[in-house]
Amino acid sequence: MSRPAAATDSPPAENSSIAIEPGHRLRGEVVVPGDKSISHRSLLFGAIAEGTTTIHGMLAAADPCSTAACLQAMGVTISPLGARDQPVVVEGVGLDGLQEPGDVLNCGNSGTTMRLLLGLLAGCKGRYFVLTGDASLRQRPMGRVSRPLCQAMGARIHGRANGTLAPLGVSGCQLQGGVIGTSVPSAQVKSALLLAGLTASSSVSVIEPNRSRDHSERMLQAFGADVQVSGDYGRHVQLKPGRILRGRTVHVPGDISSAAFWLVGAAVTPGSRLRLPHVGLNPTRTGLLEVLRTMGARLQVENRKHVTGEPVANLLVEHGPLGPFSIGPDLVPRLVDEIPVLAVAALFAEGTSRIHGARELRVKETDRLAVMTRQLRTMGAVVEETADGLVIEGPQTLRGAQLDSETDHRVAMSLALAALNAHGPSHIHGADAAGVSYPGFWQQLRQLQAAGG
């Protein structure tokens, strides 16, 4: 494989291309970057707490950097992200301490930044904010957050397409509480409503059709908020306003969505064996492990423990025969980000794998169902794209090809694993997209290949 343009301490050139030669096994230990979801929330909750929050293991990728930049623009002091072996320190300004910025708040490519800020800023009485982002983010749906905030809690949010597309203006006001049912299980929607509830006049209860990621509930409780989780499978979350949040120390575990690339990569690449220490195993995020076990993957979980309210463990995985899987709407919320790489795994499994109930992937950074279908077909794969999923019969033989991330970080890394097991070299254009969530991915891939010989 040629030396990539990406590196851990400097961004790759725009539209960078990575050349991948197949035939290398993956061997060794790989430390994945900090969990992206928890990194966002650590910054946000630290900013509105009183006192200092110290964050160890922060993911210094583009998306959390967008969150930090927006908070800094509103008067929050945050130490540099990405300083080697140094924690990130956030000096909290309290629930009512965010200042009206002198310019628009640029959320970059981060949907999490924009959606959670909509909830947080809606209750900042007497202040006005404008949220925007890059071309991709300005086309992503924000109505699933803005509508319940406005209709159920009295928020004042305006923008394109009746307040559903950025740029979005937020006029902070006194919010009301209530019981809010969401149409889709979404941690971002739930988190935005809970953040809005911190300054509401009464309790806010969020009821989801299926349970989504619960990082916000766990971390809000750790910071001192009055949060109660109940109902079937924890689908009912209630927040009572009035508590003061207190700064604290946060240890961010390794991101299981980033670990997914290595887990699948080792499982499908002959001769591979990897160890991944300190990976977060939040039960709302472990759908990937369930699918890999269903496929018969050689996967072990060791040294389980809890760190800052989050379960973590070491993962060991090696190559072996794989069977097919079936993913339905009940499981999708617990592995929605891992579906692109699981589509790659399906190509090397014996039998027909099916994914349905995953329409959410059509409104991510790209339409991931369409993009993965298009790119894998370029490699000669037979992939059936449905309205809400994919059907893939394996095993299949792939050929090297000219591939394109289409600006999507998870697509770029998923295609890398397919290319490792193709016949002939491949080039992945737009490889720099990986930096959104995994700045050191290409460097680690080189290292693991070198260790594998």
316 domain-assigned? yes
In this prediction, residues 349-367 reach a mean pLDDT of 93
State pLDDT tens for residues 242-279: 999 999 999 999 999 999 999 999 999 999 999 999 99
Consult the annotation and say whether 305 binds a ligand: no
Residues 313 and 192 in one domain: no
The interaxial angle of helices 339-347 and 256-268, nearest 10 deg, is 0
pLDDT of residue 231: 79
Residues 128 and 189 in one domain: yes
What is the distance between the alpha carbons of residues 282 and 311, in angstroms, rounded to a whole number? Answer: 6
11 domain-assigned? no
Consult the annotation and say whether 125 binds a ligand: no
Which of 35, 337, 408, 432 is labelled catalytic? 337
Residues 165 and 47 in one domain: yes
Element (DSSP H or E) covering residue 157: strand 156-159
Give burial (CB, 10 Å; 0-12/13-18/19+) of 327: buried
Residue 7 backbone phi and psi in degrees, to 5 = -150, 165
Alpha-carbon dihedral sign for residues 429, 422, 255, 355: positive
In this prediction, residues 386-415 reach a mean pLDDT of 96
What is the distance between the alpha carbons of residues 285 and 26, in angstroms, rounded to a whole number? Answer: 24
194, 216 contact by CB (below 8 A): yes
Residues 228 and 292 in one domain: no
Residue type, 335: L
Consult the annotation and say whether 36 binds a ligand: yes
Residues 342 and 225 in one domain: no
Among all chains, which residue has been given the structure tokens 């019969």?
393
Residues 257 and 124 in one domain: no
Residues 206 and 262 in one domain: no
pLDDT-based confidence at 84, cuts 50/70/90? low
Residue at a domain's end among 222, 251, 280: 251
Consult the annotation and say whether 37 binds a ligand: yes
Residues 242 and 262 in one domain: no
Consult the annotation and say whether 190 binds a ligand: no
What is the distance between the alpha carbons of residues 299 and 311, in angstroms, rounded to a whole number? Answer: 18
How many domains does the chain contain in total? 2
9 domain-assigned? no
| Three-state secondary structure readout of 310-361 | EEEEEEEEECCCCCCCEECCCCHHHCHHHHHHHHHHHHCCCEEEEECCCHHH
- Could you tell me the strand order of the sheet in which 165-171 lies? 105-106, 128-132, 165-171, 156-159
Consult the annotation and say whether 447 binds a ligand: no
- If one counts every other C-beta atom within 10 angstroms of the C-beta of residue 31, the result is 15
Judged against a pLDDT cut of 90, whether residue 77 lies above it is answered with: yes
Consult the annotation and say whether 410 binds a ligand: yes
10, 311, 313, 400 from 338: Cα distances, Å: 26, 19, 19, 23
Residues 25 and 120 in one domain: no
Residues 315 and 366 in one domain: yes
Element (DSSP H or E) covering residue 436: none
Residues 53 and 110 in one domain: yes
Judged against a pLDDT cut of 50, whether residue 8 lies above it is answered with: no
pLDDT of residue 365: 84
6 domain-assigned? no
7 domain-assigned? no
Is position 337 annotated as part of the catalytic site? Answer: yes
Task: Say what the pTM is.
Answer: 0.85
Residues 225 and 320 in one domain: no
pLDDT-based confidence at 23, cuts 50/70/90? confident
Judged against a pLDDT cut of 60, whether residue 12 lies above it is answered with: no
The interaxial angle of helices 256-268 and 287-294, nearest 10 deg, is 10
Residue at a domain's end among 233, 251, 269: 251
Residue at a domain's end among 251, 266, 301: 251
Euclidean distance between the first and the last CA atom of the chain, given in angstroms as a whole number: 12
132 domain-assigned? yes
101 domain-assigned? yes
**CATH of residue 102:** 3.65.10.10
State pLDDT tens for residues 277-324: 999 999 989 999 999 999 999 999 999 998 877 899 999 999 999 999
What is the distance between the alpha carbons of residues 35 and 281, in angstroms, rounded to a whole number? Answer: 11
- Could you tell me the strand order of the sheet in which 88-91 lies? 77-78, 88-91, 52-56, 249-251
State pLDDT tens for residues 103-152: 999 999 999 999 999 999 999 999 999 999 999 999 999 999 999 999 99
The domain in which residue 109 lies consists of 36-251
1 domain-assigned? no
